[in-house]
Chains A and B, each alone.
Chain A
Amino acid sequence: MTTWLLERMEAWRDAPALVWADVHASYGDLLDAVAQWQVELDRQALGAGSVVVIEATFSPKACALLLALLERRAIAVPVTPGQRVHLEEFQGIAHAQATVHIADDDTFTVARHAPTGTHALTEKLRALGHAGLVIFSSGSSGAAKAVLHDFEALLEKFRTPRQKKCVLTFLLFDHIGGIDTLMNTLANGGTVVTTPSRDPEVVCALIAKHRVHTLPTSPTFLNLLLLSEAWQRHDLSSLQVIAYGTEPMPQPTLTRLAEVFPNAKLVQTYGLSELGVLRSRSRPDGSLWLSFSNEGFETQVRDGLLWVRSPAAMLGYLNAPDLFDGEGWLNTQDAVEVDGPWLRVLGRVSDLINVGGQKVYPAEIEAVVMSMPNVADVAVYGEKSPLTGQFVAARVNLVEPEPLDVFKRRLRAFCRERLAPYKIPVRIELTEDRQFSARFKKLRSPTS
């Protein structure tokens, strides 16, 4: 039963729920919009178990539709306009019956699709009579994977009341972290501040204007924020928590953040499209070690890889074999280091570089290169070599122009004092292109 969420929201009718451009939607406004959607969905005969794509950003109408689909136990497929080129493909994989397109002015259109069959997992969910959520996970390589969640199981953890916060939704409407932020905030009577752009200047202005408490974001953005010095031009004293996940944090960025935001708690989160966001706490020494709360889920390390078992885990992929073992444990494919109760995420196994049998995780090398003067950003990846299998390559964005030869010499001298020889980048290239995706996740492909 998910009505608990809407019931809770009823109690806060007059409180601000969502800030979207100049629109301040209260909990009452959201609930009224949910009721309007129920009429529209009835009119469209999209009942329980229907699959509906929502092409939108975090607008009041889009959030209300998500809640309306949840309430009627339908299956919501959030997609952002940035993914438009994949829209048809996503509609097909999800076997969507309809797509609701919500425009920038919050008006909407509904497109109906011819039936294209169904998926065994979707049928399983319908038999349970639960609402569903499909998240398309970008994945570091290959086509997007469609992750099917039991939406009600995913939301179960938000039943435990927590502090009411004003949170900026940095992560997008089609991202597990974005949905997590939205639902967590609404379940506690907080306010969601949406941002039209992920430009540090815009984000900082919104934090100052709305006295935002929590900024859930990615290390890539935080690095950009530090470089832009946008934090110096806005009053960010309201920030209590800066949460970062989605990829390993370079230690130099973390250290610098602690200097710039001495009053904000820096919290590392661990989330996967397949699992939602898992509660964890960071070791108090400002390092990258974290410990899982294991509230409602279990963790295990097997052969250096993190496995998780959770009732909130996905039912499976709609277009790929799943990653569960016979006992329901999910292989996260993240390599971790263990120190007593503490874990450190080294990176995706698929990003691992194998140099003559020795393992190299790009995040480690990136952290070293990031701590060099005049480096704005870096992506480290493996390049094929018939001699050593692979070797380490680095593509670097500089702050100020510097000749490649001079920079190469400087980088190698710097790395020689800090890294084993096989970890030092062999190919070094300079680029002026940005090296992260629309989801602010690092791009590590050999050619970009």
Chain B
Amino acid sequence: MVEKQAVLDIISAALKETLDQQGLPPPASITEDTVLVGKDATLDSLGVVSLIVEVEQALEQQHQVAVTLASDKAMSAKNSPFRTVGVLAEHVLETIKEEEEAARG
């Protein structure tokens, strides 16, 4: 079981890493409300791709769970699962749950 706080920590670290890669300063603070995409976005589309890969790799390394966060289903959802840090964390937990259930059959 992966805790929400652990996921938030991973996203926060991944966001700092991604911003650093793009040569952008880290935000003063990262909270669940920090906007990732859309209006007042922190990241461009390539940045979002980077962030997602970072989060996927960290989940695999730290929690041994392999998930695909940017699925077609996630992309076509009415509300983007990548809007804010908090929404993304929920999406991560949801995806882990779904894939575990699928694995259990």
Contacts and interface: CB of A to CB of B under 8 A. Distances in A.
A388 B21 contact: no
A387 interface: yes
Interface in A366-410: 385-388, 391, 404, 409
Interface string B82-93: 000000000000
Contact of B75 (A356, A387, A409, A427): A387
B46 A386 contact: no
Contact of B45 (A388, A409, A412, A427): A388
**Most chain A beta-carbon contacts within 10 A, residue among B22, B50, B74:** B50
B34 interface: no
B70 A385 contact: yes
A272 interface: no
A387 B23 contact: no
A409 B50 CA distance: 13
Contact of B46 (A404, A409, A412, A421): A421
Contacts of A416: 21, 23
Contacts of A404: 61
Given A416-B23, A427-B57, A388 B75 contact: no
Interface in A341-377: 355-356
Q: Which of B17, B53, B61, B71 has the most CB of A within 10 A?
A: B53
B71 A421 contact: no
Contacts of B23: 416
A409 B61 CA distance: 17
Contacts of A41: none
A445 B46 CA distance: 22
Given A387-B70, A388-B46, 4 more contacts: A388-B45, A404-B61, A427-B53, A427-B57
Nearest to B74: A386
A422 interface: yes
21 contacts: A355-B46, A356-B46, A385-B70, A386-B72, A386-B74, A387-B45, A387-B48, A387-B49, A387-B52, A387-B75, A388-B46, A391-B49, A391-B53, A409-B17, A416-B21, A416-B23, A424-B21, A426-B46, A426-B50, A426-B53, A427-B53
Interface in B47-75: 48-50, 52-53, 57, 61, 70-72, 74-75
A422 B22 CA distance: 11
Contacts of A424: 21
B22 A426 contact: no
